[in-house]
């Protein structure tokens, strides 16, 4: 990926679910078309400056590849950036955007014949929506099943668009709403009441068992949902390598109670080697930034993988590692934004 | 000089060598029909299938996904499971009770500590994975865990196979049968795709369809064929169909493709049939038939039978009149097109070993016969280049 920001013009702003979320569409000039190519499920990072302070946030691209670049941002109570986007951003504004990245992506393949199960909740729908569109348009022998959790019909993002897909692709797409607090008058009739839990998953799979036997499971929801859904799938003997997930709304920093130790790090970056001091409470990324270097990074929450480096000497602890596969970790890859030193001498490299 | 039968040597139809070569290079290297999807209806159910030299079994996991493995115990090779059945969580080999889970992992070896005092790495002794998929309501297995997908294999011919949705039809169990034909499997295929013979061998059994207006061709090694109903039959088609429609109006006609290798389908307005050809020896072939019909009530079947009765009551009859029949059960007097075909195949096979056999020119309607021979040569060539 390209770790630089590009200034893009907002071409359309559309409130979703009564202004509780906002879809922002950007113009991508033709000379940047290649740079801003994406896979369904990937993100972009936006950069804003409020009172001299830089704020970066990553949002999932909610359009399938080939369509205009669009993100859908749900308001977070007290959230600096999400409310700025909802209240002030307007067509014509210029925003700094970093090209798409992310490991949670589905590459449609017209020669594949797969059954995709999507489990999403809340704004976790954004990457899944892009993936479902990509499968329906480009992987024409495959089937998509969405089990989608929300509080009620009113807070359901892309409800209308999903209904439309259901009609257009009746033979290849099924949609089941799970509502935790359905209102009587809603236009959405839930398939089940409650949450996307083990019971719902088991029933969903039994109702629509896979026909195409290359089966993939995609999970994206807030908080504990991912763990719950993947546990439920594993309890049905789904092999781990068929489950793909991403937690939404930033990884929670639960494990950050582990503190590091002060260390000296040797850093390979852009062909040069630097000596960087790391203090006990500093992530490697912060230490390297503090030393005046410009390593790649983006979400700073362990989700995007932009800050990936290879550890060649010493040990680190990672608070979160959502963006890495187990195999990456065995190869020595680390997320510098999530790593604190646990041995006093380290060598890491951003170059491959 | 090698005697030829169009593109192939006559030997290809009579010799043990060719039989073994095809078993190895064709039937052990392709997607193979393995039954109907409903043969493995629920988690824990399994079936095994001989596919060329490979015996592969399919089992459904609790996630309703099918898994396929080579049916070979990793200890001394004993076949683990027989035909069909149901298990809960594990598969145990009858010989020394090695036990595997439904992911193929070896989970227990009896008396492990005593019998293998130096230890044994169970993780390297899992069942060898194969592949399985479902397509048009049928199970297919492939010996390779990463084969070309069914889209790559059948994708191009798929749109030409008719609007049937076999998964929505129901099997008519009385039509399920399996029989042997004393002829090479390619003779049976060639008979199935010989357009020329339809109006002759079957002059009195298949004339409800208009063979002169048949449309047929090839997509790779797969043959597709469609023909419309003959005018007499078409005049009052909805009334004349013997059983309720299996496909919606306005679709009409008969789709009779032959997928490679030896997977025949035969589908019309009111039924869907499979005709699976399996070589058993150079001059012995097994054919399995299964039939699916509309998912309609008994009453609807009854009504359709009554409405079509007047068309069928005088329809068809023996190719040869009774006076010409050589015995009571002469297939040429049976009025049954399958009996006619079997008879023709066996009579043809008998001559292939004669030193005086010499093939005549292929007619237009026999172009598929020649093309199928070429498909075999092509497939063998790619396979043998690969090894
Ligand atoms: S910056 Fe995104 S994972 Fe580190
Ligand atoms: S051969 Fe299977 S347990 Fe010995
Ligand atoms: Fe025939």
**DSSP per-residue string spanning B241-293:** -SS--SS-TT--SEE--EETTTEEEEE-SSEEEEEEEEEEETTEEEEEEEEEE
- The beta-carbon neighbor of B62 closest among A214, A215, A236 is A236
With CB atoms and an 8 Å threshold, state whether B64 touches A206: yes
Q: Does B307 reside within a domain?
A: yes
The confidence score (pLDDT) of residue A250 equals: 43
The percent of residues in chain A predicted with pLDDT above 70, rounded, is: 94
User: Do B234 and B325 belong to one domain?
Assistant: yes
- Using CB distances shorter than 6 Å, the residues near ligand 2 are B 73, 75-76, 78, 93, 95-96, 98
* Torsion, CA A120, CA A126, CA A132, CA A137, rounded to 10: 170
Question: Which residues are bridge partners to B280 per DSSP?
Answer: none
The confidence score (pLDDT) of residue B91 equals: 86
Q: Residue A332 pLDDT > 60, yes or no? A: yes
User: Do B123 and B177 belong to one domain?
Assistant: no
Q: Does B27 reside within a domain?
A: no
User: Do B140 and B163 belong to one domain?
Assistant: no
Per residue in A248-266, pLDDT (tens digit) is: 544 333 334 567 889 999 9
User: Do B189 and B253 belong to one domain?
Assistant: yes
Per residue in B87-124, pLDDT (tens digit) is: 767 888 989 989 998 889 898 898 888 999 998 998 89
Q: Does B4 reside within a domain?
A: no
ipTM of the complex: 0.86
- The beta-carbon neighbor of B152 closest among A111, A206, A214 is A111
Q: Distance, CA B98 to ligand 2 centroid (Å)? A: 6
User: Do B335 and B269 belong to one domain?
Assistant: yes
- Which band of pLDDT confidence, cut at 50, 70 and 90, is reported for residue A221? confident
User: Do B237 and B88 belong to one domain?
Assistant: no
CATH topology (fold) of A114-247: Rossmann fold (3.40.50)
A/B interface, count of CB pairs below 8 Å: 47
Q: Does B105 reside within a domain?
A: yes
* Residue among B44, B63, B90 with most chain A CBs within 10 A, to mutate: B63
* Residue among B43, B58, B60, B65 with most chain A CBs within 10 A, to mutate: B65
Domain count, chain B: 2
B352: domain CATH number is 3.90.380.10
User: Do B280 and B335 belong to one domain?
Assistant: yes
B96: domain CATH number is 2.102.10.10
Instruction: List CB contacts (< 8 A) between A206 and chain B.
Output: 64
The confidence score (pLDDT) of residue B330 equals: 81
The percent of residues in chain A predicted with pLDDT above 90, rounded, is: 52
User: Do B192 and B341 belong to one domain?
Assistant: yes
Q: Pick the ligand that lies closest to the CA of residue B211.
A: 3
Q: Does B250 reside within a domain?
A: yes
Q: Does B248 reside within a domain?
A: yes
User: Do B140 and B188 belong to one domain?
Assistant: no
- Domain borders along chain A are 6-101, 114-247, 263-349
Segments forming the whole domain that contains residue B205: 157-386
Round to whole Å and give the CA distance between B103 and B74.
Answer: 14
Whether A51 and chain B come into contact, CB under 8 Å, resolves to no
User: Do B306 and B192 belong to one domain?
Assistant: yes
For the ranges A185-194, A247-256, A304-313, which has the lowest average pLDDT?
A: A247-256
In ligand 1, the atom with minimum distance to the C-alpha of A322 is 3
Q: Residue A319 pLDDT > 80, yes or no? A: no
Per residue in A16-55, pLDDT (tens digit) is: 888 889 999 999 999 998 889 888 888 888 999 988 888 8
Of B204, B224, B230, the C-alpha closest to B322 is: B204
What mean pLDDT do residues A141-155 have? 93
Question: Which residues are bridge partners to A95 per DSSP?
Answer: A8
Q: Does B350 reside within a domain?
A: yes
Considering only the top CATH level, what class is A263-349? alpha beta
User: Do B132 and B202 belong to one domain?
Assistant: no
Instruction: Return the HEC string of B142-193.
Output: ECCCCCCCHHHHHCCCHHHCCCCCHHHCEECHHHCEEEEECCCHHHHHHHHH
For the ranges A184-193, A230-239, A266-275, B52-61, which has the lowest average pLDDT?
A: A184-193
Round to whole Å and give the CA distance between A149 and A200.
Answer: 10
User: Do B162 and B215 belong to one domain?
Assistant: yes
The confidence score (pLDDT) of residue A52 equals: 81
Whether A172 and chain B come into contact, CB under 8 Å, resolves to no
Low-confidence spans in chain B with pLDDT less than 70: 83-85, 88, 322-326, 387
With CB atoms and an 8 Å threshold, state whether A237 touches B66: no
Q: Distance, CA A119 to ligand 1 centroid (Å)? A: 24
The last residue of one of the domains, among B122, B146, B170, is B146
CATH of domain A6-101: 2.40.30.10
């Amino acid at each position: 990926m390209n770790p630089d920001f590009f200034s893009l013009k907002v071409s359309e702003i559309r409130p979703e679910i009564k202004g509780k979320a906002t879809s922002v569409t950007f113009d991508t000039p033709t000379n940047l078309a290649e740079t801003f190519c994406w896979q369904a499920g990937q993100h972009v990072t936006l950069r804003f400056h409020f009172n001299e302070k830089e704020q970066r946030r990553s949002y999932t691209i909610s359009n399938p590849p080939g369509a205009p670049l669009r993100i859908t941002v749900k308001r977070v109570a007290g959230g600096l950036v999400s409310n700025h986007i909802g209240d002030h951003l307007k067509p014509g504004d210029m925003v700094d955007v970093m090209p798409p990245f992310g490991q949670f992506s589905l590459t449609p393949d017209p020669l594949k014949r797969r059954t995709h199960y999507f489990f999403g909740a809340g704004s976790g729908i954004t990457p899944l929506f892009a993936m479902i569109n990509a499968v329906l348009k480009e992987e024409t022998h495959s089937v998509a099943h969405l089990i989608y959790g929300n509080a009620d019909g009113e807070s359901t993002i892309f409800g209308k668009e999903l209904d439309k897909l259901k009609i257009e692709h009746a033979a290849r797409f099924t949609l089941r709403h799970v509502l935790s607090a359905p209102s009587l008058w809603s236009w959405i009739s839930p398939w089940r009441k409650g949450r996307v839990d083990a019971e719902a998953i088991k029933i969903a799979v039994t109702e629509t068992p896979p026909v195409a036997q290359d089966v993939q499971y995609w999970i994206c929801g807030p908080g504990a949902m991912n763990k719950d859904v993947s546990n439920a799938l594993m309890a049905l003997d789904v092999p781990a390598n068929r489950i793909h997930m991403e937690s939404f709304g930033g990884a929670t920093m639960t494990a950050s109670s582990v503190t590091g130790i002060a260390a000296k790090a040797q850093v390979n970056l852009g062909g040069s080697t630097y000596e960087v001091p790391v203090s006990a409470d500093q992530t490697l990324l912060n230490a390297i930034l503090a030393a005046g270097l410009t390593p790649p990074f983006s979400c700073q929450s362990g989700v995007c993988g932009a800050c990936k480096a290879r550890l060649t000497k010493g040990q680190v602890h990672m608070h979160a590692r959502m963006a890495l596969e187990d195999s990456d970790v065995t190869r020595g890859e680390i997320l510098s934004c999530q790593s604190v030193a646990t041995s006093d001498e380290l060598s890491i490299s951003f170059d491959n | 000089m090698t005697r030829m039968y169009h593109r192939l040597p006559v030997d290809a139809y009579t010799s043990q060598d060719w039989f073994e070569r095809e078993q190895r290079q064709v039937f052990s290297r392709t997607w193979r029909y393995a039954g109907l999807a409903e043969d493995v209806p629920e988690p824990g159910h399994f079936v095994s299938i001989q596919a060329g030299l490979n015996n592969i079994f399919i089992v459904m996991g609790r996630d309703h996904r099918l898994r396929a493995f080579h049916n070979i115990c990793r200890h001394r090779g004993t076949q683990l499971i027989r035909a069909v059945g149901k298990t809960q969580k594990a598969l145990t080999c009858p010989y020394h009770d090695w036990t595997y889970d439904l992911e193929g992992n070896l989970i227990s070896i009896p008396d492990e500590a005593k019998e293998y005092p130096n230890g044994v790495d169970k993780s390297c002794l899992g069942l060898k994975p194969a592949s399985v998929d479902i397509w048009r309501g049928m199970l297919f297995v492939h010996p390779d865990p990463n084969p070309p997908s069914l889209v790559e294999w059948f994708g191009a011919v798929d749109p030409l196979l008719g609007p049937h949705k076999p998964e929505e039809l129901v099997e008519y169990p009385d039509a399920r049968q399996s029989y042997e034909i004393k002829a090479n499997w390619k003779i049976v295929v060639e008979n199935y795709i010989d357009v020329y013979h339809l109006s002759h061998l079957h002059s009195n059994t298949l004339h409800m369809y208009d063979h002169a207006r048949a449309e047929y061709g090839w997509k790779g090694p797969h043959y597709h064929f469609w023909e419309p109903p003959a005018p007499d039959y078409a005049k009052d088609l909805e009334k004349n169909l013997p059983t309720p429609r299996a496909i919606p109006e306005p679709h009409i006609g008969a789709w009779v493709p032959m997928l490679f290798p030896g997977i025949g389908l035969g589908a019309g307005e009111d039924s869907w049939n499979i005709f699976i050809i399996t070589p058993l020896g150079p001059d012995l072939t097994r054919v399995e038939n299964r039939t699916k019909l509309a998912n309609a009530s008994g009453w609807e079947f009854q009504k359709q039978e009554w409405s079509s009765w007047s068309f069928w009551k005088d329809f068809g009859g023996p190719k040869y009149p009774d006076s010409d029949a050589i015995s009571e059960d002469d297939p040429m007097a049976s009025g049954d097109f399958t009996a006619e075909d079997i008879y023709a195949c066996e009579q043809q096979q008998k001559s292939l070993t004669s030193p005086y056999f010499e093939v005549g020119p292929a007619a237009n309607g026999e172009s598929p016969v020649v093309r199928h021979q070429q498909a075999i040569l092509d497939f063998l060539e790619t396979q043998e280049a690969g090894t």
